[in-house]
């Protein structure tokens, strides 16, 4: 609640919102927050406790575990990291820093690996978001599969977001005449694939939302900005939903994900998703998406095939309500140890 909402934070927020509907005050569930927490939802049955004077890593490693130990609680960490002193139940979305070390700074990798090696064997239970991510945790940290449960992400939060019918006019786009992506400069998001695809396909329009600008683009990729690539910058949730609905196809050329939520959001408003052909995406999207080679921009398909029935089938597999119920079962089981 003190961070920008990406897939990890979205998972935490939505699980908590659904948990609040199925627990009671007698279940004694608290959300501990620090001074930087913002946009805090109102809960009926979950209490909010502002604790400690620190923020960031210091809060997570000092204030939080001290509070848990003082109150003899069970610490549930929802966003990849965990306190070294109380690594009770933790949600790990992926182990990208271990699988893709070149994507991260040396300092971050060292801290990440230190905490994981110290804590994962001591956790009561690990929750992750896909079978692929589960296999990666087992492989890199030698954790037995019985200690890890898969509880998926979902898409129903998109139903709470309205469309903004002024969006296409604002960004000078025409309905069904552009490819859309939401990306960042994080290496695993593979923005370069989209940029190169736009350069090599000048008759098509590519629109990208996210924290990207032309100066960074030109510096990092050593070629001029293609005229058919529109960098929209940060867009609102309403604009993003509209851009997904009205695009020719949603592009997700990621190298590595634990789940990969944006294509599911796009699918929920009827968009065809073109996603990377890798193990995780195949697991989550099956034959409801079309697949691209994230290493080869020449293979982008322009003969978009929309399979509504398969998309509906995929959407039906994922539910925040069902995920929260499964989550609660594991938390209660492990809290009794």
What residue segments make up the domains of the chain, in order of their start?
7-154+320-335, 159-316
Q: Which of 151, 88, 68, 84 is nearest to 337 (CA)?
A: 88
CA geometry: angle at 12 spanning 8 and 15, to 5°? 135
pLDDT (0 to 100) of residue 151: 98
CA geometry: angle at 198 spanning 193 and 203, to 5°? 155
159-316 and 7-154+320-335 share a CATH fold = yes
The answer on pLDDT for 219 being more than 80 is no
The answer on pLDDT for 45 being more than 80 is yes
Model pTM score: 0.92
Q: Which residue has the higher pLDDT, 219 or 336?
A: 336
Residues in the chain: 337
**Confidence category of residue 332, pLDDT binned at 50, 70, 90:** confident
State both tokens at 326. 């499964």
Task: State mean pLDDT over 21-36.
Answer: 95
Q: What is the rounded distance in angstroms from the CA atom of residue 92 to the CA atom of residue 79?
A: 7
For the chain, what percentages of helix, strand and coil (3-state, to nearest 5) are there?
45, 15, 40
Summarize pLDDT for 106-137 with one digit per residue, the tens: 999 999 999 999 999 999 999 999 999 999 99
pLDDT (0 to 100) of residue 334: 73
**Which residue do the tokens 């939505």 mark?**
14
Contacts of 87 (CB under 8 A, 6+ apart): 75, 77, 119, 120, 122, 123
What is the DSSP-derived secondary structure letter of residue 45? S
The answer on pLDDT for 215 being more than 60 is no
pLDDT (0 to 100) of residue 335: 73
> Superfamily assignment of 7-154+320-335 in CATH?
Glycogen Phosphorylase B; (3.40.50.2000)
Give me the CATH code for the 159-316 domain, please.
3.40.50.2000
- φ/ψ of residue 230, rounded to 5: -105, 120
Rg over alpha carbons for the chain, rounded to the nearest Å, is: 21
Q: Are 275 and 204 in contact (CB under 8 A)?
A: no
Q: Are 68 and 87 in contact (CB under 8 A)?
A: no
pLDDT (0 to 100) of residue 300: 67
What are the start-end ranges of the H helices in the chain? 7-22, 56-58, 64-70, 96-99, 106-119, 131-141, 167-170, 191-200, 214-221, 237-246, 262-268, 279-285, 308-316, 320-335
Q: What percent of the chain lies above the pLDDT cut of 70?
A: 94
Helix 320-335 / helix 7-22 crossing angle, nearest 10 deg = 80
Q: Which of 219, 315, 225 is nearest to 266 (CA)?
A: 315
**Confidence category of residue 78, pLDDT binned at 50, 70, 90:** very high
């Amino acid at each position: 609640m003190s961070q920008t909402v990406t897939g990890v934070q979205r998972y935490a927020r939505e699980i908590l919102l659904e948990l609040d509907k199925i627990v009671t005050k007698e279940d004694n569930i608290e959300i501990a927050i620090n001074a930087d927490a913002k946009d805090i939802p109102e809960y009926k049955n979950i209490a909010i406790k502002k604790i400690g004077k620190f923020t960031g890593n210091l809060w997570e490693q000092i204030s939080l575990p001290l509070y848990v130990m003082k109150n003899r609680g069970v610490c549930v960490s929802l966003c990849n990291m965990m306190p070294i002193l109380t690594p009770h139940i933790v949600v790990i979305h992926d182990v990208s820093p271990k699988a893709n070390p070149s994507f991260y700074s040396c300092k971050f990798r060292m801290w990440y690996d230190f905490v994981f090696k110290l804590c994962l064997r001591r956790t009561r239970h690990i929750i992750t978001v896909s079978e692929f991510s589960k296999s990666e945790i087992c492989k890199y940290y030698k954790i037995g599969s019985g200690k890890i449960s898969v509880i998926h992400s979902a898409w129903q939060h998109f139903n709470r977001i309205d469309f903004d019918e002024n969006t296409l006019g604002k960004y000078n786009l025409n309905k069904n005449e552009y490819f859309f992506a939401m990306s960042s400069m994080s290496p695993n998001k593979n923005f370069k694939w989209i940029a190169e695809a736009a350069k090599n396909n000048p008759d098509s329009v590519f629109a990208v939302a996210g924290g990207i600008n032309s100066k960074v683009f030109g510096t990092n990729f050593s070629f001029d900005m293609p005229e058919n690539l529109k960098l929209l910058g940060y867009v609102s949730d309403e604009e993003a939903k509209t851009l997904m609905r009205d695009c020719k196809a949603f592009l997700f050329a990621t190298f590595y994900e634990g789940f990969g939520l944006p294509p599911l959001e796009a699918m929920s408003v009827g968009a065809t998703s073109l996603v990377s052909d890798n193990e995780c995406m195949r697991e989550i999207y099956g034959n409801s998406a079309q697949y691209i080679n994230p290493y080869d921009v020449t293979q982008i398909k322009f003969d978009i095939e929309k399979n509504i029935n398969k998309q509906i089938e995929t959407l039906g597999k994922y539910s925040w309500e069902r995920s929260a119920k499964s989550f609660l079962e594991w938390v209660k089981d492990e809290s009794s140890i």
